[in-house]
Amino acid sequence: MNQYIEAVINAIKSFDPRKIVKNPVMFITELAMFVSLYLLAFHTQYGLNLTPVYIDFYISVIVLLFLTIFFSNLAESLAEGKSRNITATLKKMKRETNGRVIDQNGERMIPSSELRKGMIVEVRKDETVPTDGEIVEGRGYFNESSITGESKPVFKVQGDSVTGATILQDSKVKIRITADPGETFLDKMIELVEGSIRTKTPNEIALSILLSGLTLVFLIITSSVYTLGTFLNTNVNLFILVVLLICLIPTTIGALLPALGVAAINKVSQFNVIAKSGRAVENAGDIDTIILDKTGTITIGDREANAIYPNRDISMDQLYEAAYISSYFDETKEGISVVKKALENKPDLKSLDMTKYEFVPFTPDTKFSGVKKENQYIYKGSPNAIWELAGSKDNYIDARCAEISSRGGTAMVVISEKGILGAIEFNDILKPWIRERIESLKAMNIKPVMCTGDNELTAQYIAREASIDEVVANSKPKDKYDKVQEEKEKQRMVAMVGDGTNDAPALALADVGFAMNSGTQAAKDAANMIDLENDPTKLMDVIFLGKQILITRGSLTTFSIANDISKYFVIIPAVFFMFPDLSFINVLGFTDPLLAVTSALIFNTFIIPMLIPLAIRGVRFKPSGINDLLKRNIMVYGVGGVLLPFVAIGAIYYLLLGVGVVW
Amino acid sequence: MSNSGASTYSGNFWLTFFTNNRIVSGAIIILIYLAIISALGYLLAPYIRKLYKGENTFLSKYTAPIIEKIEKVAGVNPKNTSNFKGYFLSLIIFNFLVGVFSLTFLMIQGDFFKFNGQRPMNIYLAFNTIVSFLTNTNLQHYSSPLRLSYSDITVVIIGLMYVSAATGFAASMAFIRGIINDDGKLGNFFHDFLVSIFDLLIPLSLLATILLIIFGVPDTTYTSIVIHPFFDKFTVNIPIGPVASLEGIKNIGTNGGGFYGANAGYPFENPSWITNLIEVISFTIIPIGSIFAIGQVLENRKFSFMLFGVIMSLFAFSAFLAFFGEISGVPALSNIGYNFGGNYIGKETAIGISQSAIFGSAATLTSTGATNAALIDYTPAGMLGILFPLLLNDPLGGVGTGVLNIFSYVIFTVFLVSLMVGKLPEIMSLKISSKEIKYSTFSLIIHPLIIIVPLGFTLLFAPILMKSFVNTHPDQITALLYEYASAASNNGSEIGGFATNTPFYNTLDGIIMLLGRYPIMAFQLIVAESFSYKKPKVQYGRSVDIGSFWFGFMLLFTMIILGLISFFPVLAAGPLLAWGRAFSLSVGVVR
């Protein structure tokens, strides 16, 4: 309740002309209110009719004008209140902690505000990460609930980035600080949410120009009505002219436009996505191609070792042992899952002495990893890499691999100096609802492209399952960049999801770069949106949202302009009510001109609060082709915008007449 | 109904049917006109496309050497292209110099080569006339053959008719180039100008002139025909002169200033139904051809058909409103049962109501402003049909300017429509930024502003300005609205109804015409320039389909709404009030 009181107070404060001048439509409305007050005060000079009926009319006009501005301010302050809540929660998280810095002078505690880029800090169990950084040593589960609200801890290994205010739940890690104070993720987030309220997107600017132009035209038209009256020797009541002006200028969209902008950023924040600008969100709505990483986007997390297939003369146990040894030092998630799988089936492997082995890390050239000891070795890697290493193909295992691929799995082959030992099957699990989401993307004419390092067969299988038509298989990091470039050359708007450092160029090149918070700093800097929950499918939510913002804005503008037609048919007959010959344009058959004018103004005023929820929530739309959407919105907001006021003003008029208001 | 007064024939059923059902036959005549002008416009389109793309036409082998020679003499290098600033500066300075020359010529002519009975122009009238012809408006505040010598007509009037039409076409060439190019260059104005004259205007106007001569329009150096009517002691002097050659460019260049004060209502300008058809064809052929040519140049024919559909809907609405307004007769008379086959007041009976209506609406839809009937005598409904295209700034437009005007509406609509479907606005893969919206909005709002502001001003000071406005009535509002709307949209059609040849109107109209021409053109070319820096189209289909039915629907919707919201109060106090009065008057008689 408190926030509503605050919003009302802010709405009243916003009557300050210096503040309202930024919104030309509302500025004119406020000016009209003051002019009306002035007219009423000096009524004798302007020959205003002062019978009680007219005095009621004048007062209700002034009150309604006041309400119009009030509702506009209220819409904005309600929206701003929400974003203020968001920044407040963010600021609360930014509490002061100490970091254990390790350098040549040994170990000491330093407050987080004095930590600088490049320092190495150690974080132990149940300690808070003092500020943003990158893990340089160790691994552990981090509780990120303070940022994402997700209580399930996230496992992070060397190279992953960690955010300040998250809590390490086990072991200890060493972190290299990547942000100076004031530049941390939280600082940037607060700055962005606050800043996005102030900066207008190009579309908003274009729309305000358009609305200002129309307002100018309406000012001139309203004055011309006065001269028309004078010319035809009738005295046009100046208050009716004020009402005409306010009904004509696009108050509906003018009142809601600032609120729309703020509401957009709020909604993005509700998704736990930080957009670096309002423009990025709008761009997201215009996406034609979306480049998705298979891992984490289409499939859940990382693939896990699922089953093993020993070679003809090898036993299951032998293969488990070999797989365990080859993956023991492997820090990738696949390696860890192999170790886990092996231990599940052969717990005694734990006692194996691994110190005698030397680690052979994975390189993009060799495409295998494992261990070696003198001239013994055990490696695991992609089938092709292993065939190359072995010098020949093992037909039995190769057939196994093909079988695994054909059902969407990934095969890895284990080899030792004695020969091919067998294959490990890794499986991907599709995210729930992914197929439906991809299909609704396709319904909106957005082309999803899946990039994966998997081989063609596996990639095709998963793409088919997820209903994706275009796949880049066997992709190297540069392929993503090339794909973005290729799509951009076709003049398409490209969105790209990424988290690794090698994704950074592609993220920067794409129109919308969507980085994971768990990703590297480079990726986060290059992207223009960052997801706190590390859920790449949320890009699709942002796309919906971006579209929704544009649709809301466009539809309300069309609605606002279309409304003018019906308001004309109510007010103009009232202005010229002394000419009975013109009564044929009085299509609603109103007999009381003052009441008709008031009804129009009442409609004009109260349509604003009625549309506030729509503005803050956004108009509903079904993901469908452009033409269907266009047809529907033209009928609803264009044609409907002409017809609705007739019905509504008519209803208000006869309601007022019914309850006995006689003017 | 209108079949009163029709005679019955026996024998041929269809002849009887059409003679007895004037509404049906009139409507069919209008449809035939619309079909013929659409077909001919479509046939001309490939030729205009070649001009837009700078390709050689079958006339190039004759015209290219001439253009080359003129450019050599004038020191113009056609390869020297410029951006908006250079292009528009050349355009405006050239127009200004031509204007100054013509003004001088007109002022001096009165002193040296006066014909019998001709009165020289004063500076206000001369200013108005020059501006009017320079801006392709051709509002005539003088009665033509009585105020101008034939050297004036040949040099100044016909000369300016070519200059203004060629300037408009050059501007549209620059606009199209802005969309196609990506180097920020709009072209070379002088080259475009010469191409427009030699490749487009001269061949077509020559053809039109020859056809008109064949069908009976005079073209001579004689000054008048002297007729001595039987049983009369006075002779009648009927002025004639280079009528057909003026008619040719008057219509082809969408100019509209006739040789005679009565314009095409005078038998020597428009003797028969066939010349009427030729004239309607000649002022619609280039605008319609340009609409189809845009689609061919931009390789989006659907877009052209959409534009054509939208404009033709307005055209048909205008023509049929005018036709039905007139065929139903003067309200005061028709309501008490006297119809006389429609309102023939002020119309040439040889041409009839349907052909007058289509001529009138074709003239206001293009910026021609020619007329073959006295518009002041139209019924309020008929008048509305002729008037409303002026309020939309001539949807079909003049030579060249039509393309520019319709694009302002298109950009405005694309902006709204794109937002409505959740896309960032773009047209032909060119992003529409706030700059384009700004200048399109300017070019759209300047039109109502330069009509409403002078109108309000005149109405406020009417009693001081003019004695005829002492007894005020809505028809005068219509007359003033028509006058300013015609000037602002550079149309030039006039209904008169009050003395326009006064220093006040001459100056005010002159200013309106200038504001309605050059600033709007400048804004539209700024938009073109800003497009010209952007990468050209690569593929379609990523945004709103601007060739689709629903886009066309929205375009029409936007045009009508923008027109209505700008002019509804004036329309209510003017033609609509007059309409209401006309009916209540007749109802009073019946009672």
Say which residue the tokens 């500066």 belong to. B89
* Interchain pair A490, B550: CB under 8 A: no
Q: How far is A631 from chain B (nearest CA, A)?
A: 6
Q: Which of residues 405-434 of B touch A (CB under 8 A)?
A: 412, 415-425, 429, 432-434
| Per-residue pLDDT at B350 | 83
Interface contact B569-A221, CB threshold 8 A: yes
Percent of chain A with pLDDT strictly greater than 70: 95
B195/A contact by beta carbon, under 8 A: no
| Residues of B in Cβ contact (< 8 Å) with A558 | 416, 420
Q: Which residue has the higher pLDDT, B131 or B588?
A: B131
What's the CA gap between A119 and A127, in Å, rounded?
Answer: 18
- Inspect the interface and report whether the beta carbons of B477 and A228 lie closer than 8 Å: yes
Q: Which residue has the higher pLDDT, A463 or B205?
A: B205
Neighbouring residues of A147: CB distance < 8 A, sequence distance ≥ 6? A93, A163, A165, A166, A272, A517, A532
* Range in A139-153, A227-241, B556-570 with the lowest mean pLDDT: A139-153
Nearest to A202 among B412, B433, B550 (CB): B433
pLDDT digits (tens, 9 = 90+) for B282-292: 989 999 999 99
Residue of A201, A225, A231 to mutate when probing chain B, most B C-beta within 10 A: A231
Could A629 and B421 be called an inter-chain contact, meaning their C-beta atoms sit closer than 8 Å? Answer: yes
* Among the listed residues B139, B182, B143, the one whose alpha carbon sits nearest the alpha carbon of residue B489: B139
Compute chain A's Rg from CA coordinates.
Answer: 33
Query: Residue B261, Cβ neighbours under 10 Å: how many?
Result: 15
Query: To the nearest whole angstrom, how far is the Cα of B472 from the nearest Cα of chain A?
Result: 6
Q: Could you tell me which of A289, A457, A609 has the C-alpha nearest to residue B539? A: A289
B5 confidence band (pLDDT: 50, 70, 90): very low
* Shortest CA gap A64–chain B (Å): 23
Which residues are within 8 A (CB) of A478 and not within 5 positions of it... i.e. 6 or more apart? none
- On average, the pLDDT of chain B sits at 86
pLDDT band for position A640 (cuts 50, 70, 90): very high
Give me the residue from A210, A216, A248 closest to B565, CB to CB.
A248
- Hey, are the CB atoms on A213 and B548 less than 8 Å from each other? no
- Backbone torsions φ then ψ of B430, nearest 5 degrees: -100, 120
Name which of B306, B416, B464 to mutate to probe chain A: the one with the most chain A Cβ atoms within 10 A of its Cβ. Answer: B416
Q: Which residues pair with A410 in a beta bridge?
A: A426
Residues 479..538 of B with a Cβ closer than 8 Å to A: which? 535, 537-538
Q: What does the alpha-carbon distance between residue B389 and residue B362 come to, in Å, rounded to a whole number?
A: 9
Q: What percent of chain A has pLDDT over 90?
A: 14
Candidate list A293, A535, A541, A592, residue with the active-site label: A293
Interface predicted TM-score (ipTM): 0.88
The reply to whether B43 touches chain A by the CB within 8 Å rule is no
Long-range contacts of B217-223 (CB under 8 A, 24+ apart): B217/B243, B217/B244, B217/B247, B217/B268, B217/B269, B217/B270, B217/B271, B217/B275, B218/B243, B218/B244, B218/B268, B219/B243, B219/B244, B219/B245, B221/B150, B223/B115, B223/B150
Task: Choose the closest CB to A231 out of B424, B442, B459.
Answer: B459
pLDDT, tens digit, for every residue of A152-162? 777 777 777 78
Name residues whose C-beta falls within 8 Å of residue A485's C-beta, 6 or more positions apart in sequence.
A509
For helices A52-93 and A593-617, give the axis angle rounded to 10 degrees: 10
What global pTM score does this model have? Answer: 0.84
At B419-433, the pLDDT tens digits run 888 888 888 878 888
- One-letter amino acid at A261 equals G
Cβ–Cβ of A203/B419 closer than 8 Å? Answer: yes
- B501 vs B336, residue with greater confidence: B501
Helices (H), A590-637: 593-617, 626-633
- Enter the DSSP assignment of A430: B
Question: Can A592 be counted among the known catalytic residues?
Answer: no
- Residue to test with chain A: of B306, B391, B420, most A Cβ within 10 A: B420
**Do the Cβ atoms of B285 and B37 come closer than 8 Å?**
yes
Report the pLDDT value the prediction gives residue B522, as an integer from 0 to 100: 95
**Of B437, B455, B580, which has the smallest distance from its Cβ to A224's Cβ?**
B455
Render pLDDT for A549-601 as a digit per residue (tens, 0 to 9). Answer: 888 888 888 999 899 888 889 899 888 888 888 888 888 888 888 899 999 99
Asked whether B556 and B314 are in contact (CB, 8 A), the reply is yes
Query: H or E stretch including B277?
Result: helix B273-297
**Sign of torsion over alpha carbons B68, B70, B76, B78:** negative
| pLDDT, tens digit (0-9, with 9 covering 90-100), for A619-639 | 777 777 778 888 898 999 999
Helix (H, G, I), strand (E, B) or coil at A483: helix
pLDDT score of A197 more than 80: no
Give yes or no for B587 touching A (CB within 8 A).
no
CB contact under 8 A, B445 and A206: no
CA neighbor of A619 nearest in space, from A576, A557, A571, A568: A557
B379-423 pLDDT per residue, tens: 888 889 999 999 999 899 888 888 899 999 999 999 999 888 888
Spatial neighbors of A229 by CB under 8 A, at least 6 apart, are A235, A236, A575, A576, B573
Question: Tens digit of pLDDT for each residue in A296-342?
Answer: 677 776 677 888 888 888 888 888 888 888 888 887 777 888 888 88
> What average pLDDT does this structure show over B517-545?
81
Q: What is the pLDDT of residue B319?
A: 95
CB atoms B445 and A214 under 8 Å: yes
Quick one: which of A9, A143, A29, A184 has its CA closest to A81? A9
Could you tell me the pLDDT band of residue B6, with boundaries at 50, 70 and 90? very low
In this predicted structure, the answer to whether residue B223 has a pLDDT above a threshold of 80 is: no
| A164-187 confidence digits (pLDDT tens) | 778 888 778 888 888 787 777 777
With CA atoms as reference, report the closest residue to B277 among B41, B36, B18.
Answer: B36
Q: Chain B residue with minimal CA distance to A250?
A: B565
The answer for A409, left when phi > 0, alpha when psi is -120 to 50, beta otherwise, is beta
Tell me what pLDDT residue B588 has.
42
DSSP 8-state code for residue A637: I
Q: What is the pLDDT of residues B59-117, one digit of tens each?
A: 888 999 999 999 999 888 888 889 999 999 999 999 999 999 998 888 876 666 555 55
pLDDT digits (tens, 9 = 90+) for A481-527: 888 888 888 778 888 887 766 778 888 888 888 887 777 777 777 88
